[in-house]
Amino acid sequence: MDNWFTVEEIDAQTFAISEYKHWEETHCYLLCGRERAALIDTGLGISNIRKVVDSLTRLPVTAVTTHVHWDHIGGHKYFDSIAVHELEKDWLSVKFPMPLQAVKDNLTKYPCDFPAEFDIDAYRVFQGMPQRILKDGDRLELGGREIRVVHTPGHSPGHCCFYEPEREYLFSGDLVYKGCLYAFYPTTDPRLFYDSVKRVRGYKIAKILPGHHRLNIPVSIMDEIEAGFAQIEKSGKLKRGNGLFEFGDFQIQI
């Protein structure tokens, strides 16, 4: 197995599988129950994440999607069971809404020590039929472990966070992290993004598990992000095309 991925134990049944060697620093999360496991996102698809998952559990695994962007579905090709929100089913199974060359340009935006077997010319955005369609409020039962689907649109129409009531974990995807929060693509909506941040703040959260960059971030960053959006709204600039707003630990690009 190559050393592209870094595995960090969150608790005895929860693991972060990260791609720190790439500038996007993606995080995927393996959640193990008694009967089955969920892998929240599958990363860039640069290396085989299935080999890492198989080294951590023998349970049947479903790839659960926060949203259908290339850096979150790259390893879906290694799994037979895939779950995605209903609003992005067609992105996964019919047509991804962004040119392949734009994705490749993003992958190679900064120098990177890619694994020897990775061929950028052969890279494709995953396309396939999901086995489960997710809706807001759905529950993923893993056997003694329940994960709730929270539809949080804005970064993309079908973006979801996943909340675990027992541990008070929020798997926040691209809604909350330290870095640049993106709401400038044609398929994004800054106002919905703001609404989604306000929504997840209503949950009792002990730990945020983000989709990118620093793994250990304070729960208080949600307050800061909400305040950032409020400031942009107050200035009358909460609409796409108004540029990059700097807030220290994070930025908002709309």
- Amino acid occupying residue 16: A
Beta carbons within 8 Å of 187's beta carbon, 6+ residues apart: 97, 156, 157
| Helices of type H across the chain | 49-56, 70-73, 89-93, 100-107, 190-200, 221-234
CA-wise closest residue to 241 among 171, 184, 192, 186: 184
Taking the C-alpha atoms of residue 162 and residue 137, their distance in angstroms, rounded to an integer, is 10
Q: Which pair of structure tokens corresponds to residue 25?
A: 């620093």
DSSP state of 76: G
- pLDDT in the model for residue 2: 65
Q: How far apart are CA 112 and CA 36, in angstroms?
A: 34
Give the three-class secondary structure for 71.
Answer: helix
Distances (CA, A) of 129 to 13, 95, 99, 108: 28, 11, 20, 28
Give 10-residue mean pLDDT values along the chain (254 residues).
89 98 98 98 98 98 98 97 98 94 95 93 96 98 98 98 98 98 96 98 97 97 97 97 95 98
User: Which tokens belong to 50?
Assistant: 């299935």
pLDDT of residue 155: 98
pTM: 0.97
Amino acid at 143: G
DSSP state letters, 173-242 = ETTS-SSEEE--STT--HHHHHHHHHHHTTS--SEEEESBS-S---TTHHHHHHHHHHHHHHTT--STTS
% of the chain residues with pLDDT over 90: 99
Residue of 84, 241, 244 whose CA lies nearest to 180: 244
Q: What is the pLDDT of residues 23-58, one digit of tens each?
A: 999 999 999 999 999 999 999 999 999 999 999 999
Which domains occur in the chain, in start order? 6-253 (3.60.15.10)
Element (H, E) at 14: strand 14-19
Q: Rounded mean pLDDT of the chain?
A: 97
Query: Residues 16-32: pLDDT tens digits?
Result: 999 999 999 999 999 99
Give the Cβ contact number of residue 155 at 10 Å: 25
User: What is the phi/psi pair of residue 223, to 5°?
Assistant: -65, -40
**In sequence order, what are the beta bridge partners of 212?**
26
